[in-house]
Structure 1
Amino acid sequence: MTQPSLESAGKRAFVLVCIVLLALNLRASVGSVGVVLTDIIDDLGMSPTTAGILTTLPVVAFAVVGSLANAVVRAIGLHTTATVALATIAVGLASRAFVDSSTVFLVASAVSLAGCAVGNVILPPLVKLHFPDRIALVSSIASAAVVGGATLSAALTVPISEAAGDNWRWGLFAWSILAAVTVLPWLRLLGHDVRSTDGDTRIAIGELVRAPLAWAMALCFGCQAAQAYAQFGWFPAILEDAGLDDAHAGAMLAILTGIGIPAALLLPALIGWTGRRPWILPWSFAVLTVVGWLGLLWWPAEAPWAWALLLGVGSTAFPWVLTMIAKRARTHEGTVALSAFVQGIGYVIAALGPFGTGVLHDATGGWAAPAAMLMALAVLLGIFGTYVARPIMLEDQLPGGGAAGRGPR
């Protein structure tokens, strides 16, 4: 492989910084709200129904808007889409920080989440386009940045609010500043945008529906996302029911999410280590998750940090799936289409995690049934992940071998 020149290396480093900054913004809208939700409800007079809608809005937006991202990229280009997504996030976050209506707060939140949804989808094709020789490494870095953004927004929103006179509005507004500043470096990439102008390279939704790889990857993504959102929403509640105070339970959730950052960064080495046995990784994620839920169910108060670590490392399935999206398509167009399909379907399935956990807990009065459901999803992750890990290319499963697959490699 030819070594890039210093100029090209510099450009690649700049693009990497842009991708990392984009990824940092993709969960701030979610992470910043949960920690001040009680204050928001009180100040805006938000009803329990509206609060429930607010907590389920992320997965709905990620599913609905994410499925449309492919059309947006085709229309305006990949770099322009990233820039517009960040601007949308900034506008939504800034708007919701200073409204006095719960309805307007919901609308502004939906706007910011729409930008996040598009950003979610374009991460794999951005990695594929700019780092085709470093897909696993850069995907892992981007995924770590996504987790880092969620962790930072959850950890810093309250301190920022307290520093601003115990005002939650400034805590939320701070993240709009990050998004607005991130737009600036992306403006430099607009003159080198990438869009598909050849209709023969476009992949229609009807073609993806008939590709087993697309469905296996969507189901795999959905199973891991359901786990993640169930953990974000219910992990502290399970520990509190076991007798831990809310501060201790919150610290355990921080361990669960924080461990995902180094775990994601180790993923390229793990992919290389598994070599010709790629199925080891999805099944490792599945086993770690099952053991984590069993420990949380049977001995929640004895070693909560251990279950947090196991579930957190099991969540490395997220960067692994993102890496596979970039690896399982030959072209830029194929990666965009696959990412939109996988995340559009996957986030619909993801709603089963937090919603199903709540329903089963209410119906049974305990955590055994929800844990069983989540363990079953973990096993499905291993099954579908085994298929995704095989060296199958999307374009080979499209009608006629995939016209897009005959484009430049």
Structure 2
Amino acid sequence: MPTAAEPSATETGSRPPTAETPAGAPVDAPAGVRARAEAPARNAAAVLLAVAVAAAAVNLRPVVTSLGALLDPVRDGLGMSATMAGLLAAVPPLCFAVLGICAPALARRLGPIAVVTAALAAITAGVLARSFTGSAVVFLLLTALALAGVALANVLIPVVIKRYFPDRVAPMIGLYSMALSVGTSLAAATTVPLTNALGGDWRLGLGVWGLLALAALALWLVVLFARRERGAASSPAAGPHVKLPILRSRTAWALAFFFGLQSTSAYSAMGWLPKIYHDAGVSESASGVLLALVMAVSVPVSFLLPNLAARRGDQRLYVVVLGLCGIAGFLGLMLAAGTVPWLWAVLVGLSMCAFPLALTMLGLRARTPGGVTQLSAFAQSLGYLISIPGPILMGALYQSTGQWYLPLGLLALLLVPQMLVGLRAARARHIEDEAVG
């Protein structure tokens, strides 16, 4: 797709062949010369889009992790019960499931860049507005608005990567995953200190993340206007749209269940981990730092893992290693959360790298951007739908028992089926072959 900086047809090929420059050289240079002249503009556009992808990724998790760090004051300020707080933790996967279904149609009609831009607008509006409400219900709805934007971006950023960086899918997924981890750890580590610095008002501590989203939105608006995208058909790289019978693909189903089970662990941990540590005698600020450590561990791993996984062909080894790390981490939290708390945080952080692994497999299990769009929408929508009961059940179990043994034991147990379906999803297959074969 041409960028705004690239010359139009009238600028490159419509002048008479005899027209000359002042130096006497023909205006119509050979194709190779024109390509070399246009290369800097294309490279600049690619760099801008890569930066925009990273900026968007940084904003996809503070919606959740900043709330996790301030969950107790938010509950007190809005009068939430533990069960309703569990419902709040379940809103992310619910939004991802519902909105993910709409993402492919929106991308075909408007183009993925336009939809991601609109998604960042929803994140900005939801995060800023929820900080000013005094109603728990309105807070929930505005959080859902922000998470609707996160849902669309979750599905479509891998599509943007597959379409515009077809030869650099693994490193771009690594950049995207690393930026996700940076945003998550940044919000977890700094939300409580920021809130204290702003006078202790949790509303300001949550609302400040809307300003970061606003900056990313401005960057995507530049990308949108520079590329002037008009739906999927506008890009030659997109290829013809062919709707696959994806329900016939065993790999697609395995990826969906893998997404669902890893999301259950991830969103339960992000929503409840500070509370788990606080109940074990760790201070509120230290609990936030430990959640940040969970995310910080995944920063370098999220960058390296997609490249390593793509080179290996199949990713079964990584599925098993990450699953075992999660089992050890959740059992450690269950039995001795206050003892060597950093160790459990590191292990849980490693297990949460199942998310960048799943994103990598999305890009590897389909041959075309259209296939990635359909696989991403199916696997993420169904997967997040599967994960909805997890955070709610954790809140209900904690409220009924007053202890974290059962909730954490459940998370450890669920990693066993996660590894089993992950072994199937990690095999070197393409959904196009399974769907028609």
TM-score (norm 2): 0.81
Q: Between the two proteins, what is the percent identity of the paired residues? A: 37
| 1:323 equivalenced with 2:357 (yes/no) | no
Q: 1:195 aligns with which of 201, 214, 231?
A: 231
User: 2:29 aligns to what?
Assistant: none
Q: Quick check: 1:227 aligned with 2:261?
A: no
Q: 1:107 to 1:331 in 2, by over 3 A?
A: same
**CA distance, structure 1, for counterparts of residue 66 and residue 319 of structure 2:** 30
Give the corresponding residue for 1:353. 390
Instruction: Give the AA of the match of 1:339.
Output: S
Residue 342 of structure 2, aligned match among 294, 302, 305: 305
> In the alignment, which of 399, 413, 418 is matched to residue 376 of structure 1?
413
Q: 1:192 to 1:398 in 2, by over 3 A?
A: farther
* 2:327 corresponding residue in structure 1: 290
Deviation at 1:303, TM superposition (A): 2.3
Q: Give distance in 1, aligned partners of 2:400 and 2:431.
A: 41
Would the aligned equivalents of 1:196 and 1:202 in 2 still touch at CA under 8 Å?
Answer: no
Which amino acid counterpart does residue 203 of structure 1 have in structure 2? K
Q: Contact 1:79–1:194 (CA<8 Å) still a contact in 2?
A: no
| Equivalent-residue separation in structure 1 for 2:290 and 2:189 (angstroms) | 13
**Distance in 2 separating the partners of 1:46 and 1:122:** 33
The CA distance in 2 between the partners of 1:307 and 1:166, in whole Å, is 29
What is the number of residues matched between the two proteins?
Answer: 396
Query: Which residue in 2 is equivalent to 1:260?
Result: 298
Give the alignment partner of residue 59 of structure 2, picking from 13, 25, 35. 25
Distance change (3 Å), C-alpha of 1:36 and 1:44: same
Q: Distance in 2 between matches of 1:294 and 1:81?
A: 41
1:284, distance to aligned residue in structure 2 (A): 0.9
Per-residue Cα deviation, 1:216-260 (whole angstroms, up to 9, x for no partner): 001111111111122223434444554544444443322222211
| 1:51-106 deviations in Å (ceiling 9; x for gaps) | 44333222211221122212211221111101111111112222222233333222
Kindly indicate whether residue 124 of structure 2 is the aligned counterpart of residue 84 of structure 1.
no
Q: Compared with structure 1, are the counterparts of its residues 121 and 272 closer, same or farther at alpha carbon in structure 2 (3 Å cutoff)?
A: closer
CA displacement at 1:281 relative to structure 2: 0.9
1:162-212 deviations in whole A, cap 9, x for unaligned?
4444333333332222222222222233334263349972426xx222211
CA distance in 2, matches of 1:33, 1:239: 16
- Is the Cα–Cα contact under 8 Å of residues 69 and 274 in structure 2 kept in the other structure? no
Would you say 1:391 and 2:425 are equivalent positions?
Answer: no
Say yes or no: does 1:113 pair with 2:108. no
8 Å contact 1:62–1:347 — kept in the other structure?
yes
Aligned runs of 1:263-278 on 2, under 5 Å? 263-271=301-309, 275=312, 278=315
Aligned to 2:200: 166
- 1:180 is matched with 214
Query: Which secondary structure does the structure 1 equivalent of 2:232 belong to?
Result: coil
Q: Measure, in 2, the Cα distance between the counterparts of 1:30 and 1:43.
A: 18
Aligned match of 2:91: 57
Show the counterpart of 2:18.
none
Displacement after TM superposition at 1:269 (Å): 4.9
After the TM superposition, which of the residue ranges 312-321 and 388-397 deviates more from structure 2? 388-397
Quote the residue 1:404 is aligned against.
none
The TM-score with structure 1 as length reference comes to 0.87
RMSD: 2.9
In 2, distance between residues paired with 1:362 and 1:99?
26
In 2, distance between residues paired with 1:303 and 1:43?
32
**Which among 138, 158, 161 is matched to residue 124 of structure 1?**
158
Q: Which runs of 5+ in 1 are unaligned?
A: 402-409
Contact map agreement 1:66 1:343 (CA 8 A) in 2: yes
CA distance in 2, matches of 1:360, 1:49: 9
Tell me what 2:186 maps to. Answer: 152
SS at match of 1:188: helix
Cα contact 2:174–2:307 (8 A) shared by 1? no
1:280 and 2:350 matched: no
The equivalent residue for 2:130 is: 96
Secondary structure (helix, strand or coil) at the match of 1:132 reads: coil
Change (3 A) 1:100 1:142: same
8 Å Cα contact 2:184-2:292 kept in structure 1:
no
Gaps of 5+ in 2: 1-34
Alpha-carbon distance between aligned partners in 2 of 1:232 and 1:294, rounded to the nearest angstrom: 17
Shift of 1:362: 5.5
Paired amino acid for 1:113: L
Give, in whole Å, the separation in 2 of the partners of 1:69 and 1:133: 24
Question: Match of 1:266, SS?
Answer: helix
Letter in 2 for 1:61: C
